[in-house]
């Protein structure tokens, strides 16, 4: 996610909703660094050291290089970092950190900024690699990590829902390297584990032969990832039908529904439409238009798409299919996972790839014939 690891002396922000797994991930990282002989200071203002220790014990063996420090005052954290010179300093969380020289209560914008500035100095002056935790609420907390994004060297965010087994961490900023996509983790009793085959993990629970489900090869940084796009069109008498999108750009969904309505005569005005990406993944690429349109049409006609079909492509207002970047990467990932038919905008890759047939389409209308 960081394009090659933590850079010495850098300040990294790990953001995410409460309960998503920030402390768990950092504790695991801290334990792993300590197990290799590096010193780690884990400053915790959120939980007591007893709680953190109990959690750490469940996660594995605690090496002696790991110091759990129950402290919210950044001056004390600074002093300990200065004397210990750890390989890694974790501050969990920035909302509980307090700079006694600044005004305002813990968690206020002033405090969060001041504490981060002090920690930045610890990272730069002492060369201590520092990771701070920041809670983000659904509404985007005012004094949350967003105000810190420009101050730190790298920003990682946990995405998705805390009720999901799969958790995604995305790098949204990295001063030292490329913002190289996402890391996918699974949460179980042993903490977070890296998912080796994200596409298989995401498609594992896909229902067989159900209307409204389409497979989309999404591109995340350097790789493609197969995700399931779901739509449910449900008849309504309401004057204003509902449109709900999860993990998708609602504006884009609305535009696509209008195109379906006008270009292929789908009777969407009398239907509520719910659209989502399974597994808590976000798919906001224009390339998601085609699988979404197929999913909506499939639900509307109550007819499943062929189970071996994957699709991608942008759809214009005239109902035309537009090429998208990274065609061969998408085709390869879909065929690697056994999808025998891959529908995409023409011209693009055509013919076959790795045993899969590539179906080039030029219009939405042509694409929807796959449902006939």
Q: Find the part of the chain contacting ligand TYD (CB under 6 A) among 22-30, 140-148, 202-210, 265-273.
A: 22-30
11 close to 123: Cβ distance less than 8 angstroms: yes
CA distances from 54 to 21, 149, 165, 211 (A): 16, 32, 22, 46
- Position 298 contacts ligand TYD (CB under 6 A): no
Task: Compute the least distance from the CB of residue 60 to ligand TYD, in Å.
Answer: 10
- Position 189 contacts ligand TYD (CB under 6 A): yes
Task: Compute the least distance from the CB of residue 369 to ligand TYD, in Å.
Answer: 46
- Position 24 contacts ligand TYD (CB under 6 A): yes
Task: Compute the least distance from the CB of residue 1 to Mg ion, in Å.
Answer: 19
- Position 20 contacts ligand TYD (CB under 6 A): yes
Task: Compute the least distance from the CB of residue 195 to ligand TYD, in Å.
Answer: 15
Q: Which does 207 bind (CB under 5 to 8 A by kind): Mg ion, ligand TYD, none?
A: none
Sheet containing 191-194, strands listed edge to edge, beginning at the edge strand earlier in sequence: 66-69, 40-44, 88-92, 129-135, 11-16, 154-159, 166-174, 182-188, 191-194
Q: Which does 16 bind (CB under 5 to 8 A by kind): Mg ion, ligand TYD, none?
A: ligand TYD
- Residue among 15, 16, 183, 345 that touches ligand TYD (CB under 6 A): 16
Q: Which does 80 bind (CB under 5 to 8 A by kind): Mg ion, ligand TYD, none?
A: none
196 Cβ contact list (under 8 Å, min separation 6): none
Nearest partner of 275 among 255, 37, 265, judged by Cα: 255
Task: Compute the least distance from the CB of residue 132 to ligand TYD, in Å.
Answer: 12
Nearest partner of 192 among 202, 200, 184, judged by Cα: 184
Nearer to Mg ion, 23 or 363 (CB): 23
- Is 101 exposed, middle or buried (CB count within 10 Å of its CB: 0-12, 13-18, 19+)? exposed
Q: Find the part of the chain contacting ligand TYD (CB under 6 A) among 16-24, 168-176, 214-222, 244-252.
A: 16-24
Q: If you count them, how many residues does the chain have? A: 372
Structural tokens at position 255:
């535009």
Task: Compute the least distance from the CB of residue 23 to ligand TYD, in Å.
Answer: 3
Task: Compute the least distance from the CB of residue 288 to ligand TYD, in Å.
Answer: 28
Q: Which does 213 bind (CB under 5 to 8 A by kind): Mg ion, ligand TYD, none?
A: none
Nearer to ligand TYD, 54 or 142 (CB): 54
- Residue among 35, 147, 151, 187 that touches ligand TYD (CB under 6 A): 187
Structural tokens at position 16:
């995410």
- Residue among 15, 21, 145, 348 that touches ligand TYD (CB under 6 A): 21
CA distances from 282 to 161, 162, 165, 245, 287 (A): 11, 15, 15, 11, 13
- Residue among 1, 2, 23, 74 that touches Mg ion (CB under 5 A): 23
Tell me, by CB under 6 A, how many residues bind ligand TYD. Answer: 14
Structural tokens at position 320:
């035309």
Q: Which does 175 bind (CB under 5 to 8 A by kind): ligand TYD, Mg ion, none?
A: none
Structural tokens at position 128:
């201590």
Tell me, by CB under 5 A, how many residues bind Mg ion. Answer: 1
Nearest partner of 169 among 209, 123, 221, judged by Cα: 221
- Helix (H, G, I), strand (E, B), or coil: what is residue 31? helix
Nearer to ligand TYD, 16 or 279 (CB): 16
32 Cβ contact list (under 8 Å, min separation 6): none
What's the rounded Cα separation, in Å, for the pair 135 and 109? 13
What's the rounded Cα separation, in Å, for the pair 5 and 23? 18
- Residue among 53, 55, 124, 322 that touches ligand TYD (CB under 6 A): 55
Binding site for Mg ion (CB under 5 A): 23
Interface residues toward ligand TYD, by CB under 6 A? 16, 18-24, 55, 58, 187, 189-191
């Amino acid at each position: 996610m960081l394009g090659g690891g933590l850079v010495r002396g850098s300040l990294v922000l790990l953001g995410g909703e409460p309960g998503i797994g920030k402390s768990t991930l950092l504790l695991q990282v801290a334990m792993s660094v300590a197990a290799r002989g590096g010193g780690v200071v884990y400053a915790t203002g959120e939980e007591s050291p007893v709680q953190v220790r109990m959690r750490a014990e469940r996660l594995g063996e605690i090496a002696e290089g790991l110091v759990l420090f129950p402290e919210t005052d950044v001056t004390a954290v600074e002093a300990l970092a200065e004397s210990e010179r750890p390989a890694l300093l974790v501050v969990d969380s920035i909302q509980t950190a307090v700079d006694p020289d600044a005004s305002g209560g813990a968690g206020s914008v002033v405090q969060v900024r001041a504490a981060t500035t002090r920690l930045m100095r610890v990272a730069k002056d002492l060369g201590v690699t520092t990771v701070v935790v920041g809670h983000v609420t659904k509404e985007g907390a005012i004094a949350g990590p967003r105000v810190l994004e420009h101050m730190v060297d790298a920003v990682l965010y946990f995405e998705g829902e805390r009720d999901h087994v799969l958790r995604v961490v995305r790098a949204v900023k990295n001063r030292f390297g490329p913002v190289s996509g996402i890391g996918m983790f699974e949460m179980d009793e042993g903490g977070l584990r890296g998912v080796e085959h994200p596409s298989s993990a995401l498609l594992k629970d896909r229902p067989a032969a159900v209307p409204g489900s389409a497979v989309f090869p999404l591109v995340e940084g350097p790789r493609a990832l197969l995700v399931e796009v779901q739509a449910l069109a449900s008849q309504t008498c309401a004057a204003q039908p509902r449109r709900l999108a999860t993990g998708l750009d609602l504006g884009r969904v609305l535009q696509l529904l209008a195109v379906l309505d006008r270009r292929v005569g789908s009777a969407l005005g009398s239907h509520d439409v719910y659209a989502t990406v399974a597994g808590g993944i976000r798919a906001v690429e224009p390339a998601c238009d085609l699988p979404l349109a197929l999913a909506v049409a499939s639900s509307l006609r109550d007819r499943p798409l062929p189970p071996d079909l994957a699709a991608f492509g942008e759809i214009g207002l005239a109902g035309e299919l537009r090429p998208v970047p990274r065609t061969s990467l998408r085709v390869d990932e879909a065929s690697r996972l056994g999808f025998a038919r891959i529908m995409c905008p023409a011209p693009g890759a055509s013919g076959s790839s790795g045993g899969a047939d590539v179906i080039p389409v030029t219009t939405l209308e042509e694409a929807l014939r796959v449902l006939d």
